[in-house]
Structure 1
Amino acid sequence: MQSFEKRTTALDTSQPSIRHLQDLIRHKTPVAVQVPGVGELEGILHWQDIDYLALKQDENRPLTLINRAAAATIRALG
């Protein structure tokens, strides 16, 4: 028997973690994102959706997309 998980297509802004990340994005706070197997990535979050975080590490580089499930920790640097 096969079971399918119903996923929402929108962020649940009632969740404190979502609101906190939105504040970091709004204020352009530098962050460090720990990704197992990759290390710590530093930059400024530009947006989030239900699957990914977009991190700008440098003005001369494109956005780095980080799967939300792969982010072990996210901490503000500023």
Structure 2
Amino acid sequence: MQSFFEKRSAALDTSQPSIRHLQDLIRHKTPVAIQVMGVGELEGTLHWQDVAYLALSQAEGRPLTLINRAAASTIRALG
């Protein structure tokens, strides 16, 4: 949770290489594996990202899984 004294940007900083890399994974619909603390590894394709969350599609017809960025320890491309 953000404290009163902490200033957090309301927009993604697209000059950051990690943000650009995730955008490429989203654009190309590259399958990924995301290690989530306390859950384990989740596989699927990323649909979008914002400042706080990543949206992962694990299977056609299932709702998107929202992953808090702070809980994602690693993201790796599978394809």
Is TM (by shorter chain) over 0.5?
yes
Which residue number in structure 1 is paired with residue 17 of structure 2? 16
CA-to-partner distance for each residue in 1:33-74, whole Å, 9 max, x for gaps?
001210100000000000000000001210000000100000
Is there any run of 5+ residues in structure 1 with no aligned partner, and where? none
Partner of 2:62: 61
- Distance in structure 1 (CA, Å) of the matches to 2:65 and 2:28: 19
2: CA distance, partners of 1:7 / 1:56: 27
In structure 1, what is the equivalent of residue 5 of structure 2? Answer: 4
Query: How many residues were matched structurally?
Result: 77
Letter in 2 for 1:16: P
Bigger-Rg structure (1/2): 1
Aligned-pair CA distance for 1:31: 0.1
Matched residues in 2 for 1:60 and 1:3: separation? 40
Unmatched tracts of structure 2, length 5 or more: none
Q: Percent identity?
A: 83
Q: CA RMSD in A?
A: 1.2
One-letter code aligned to 1:75: R
Question: What residue number does 1:71 align with?
Answer: 72
Paired AA for residue 18 in structure 2: S
Residue 25 (structure 1) aligns with: 26
Distance in 1, Cα, partners of 2:62 & 2:5: 38
Q: TM-score, normalised by structure 1?
A: 0.95
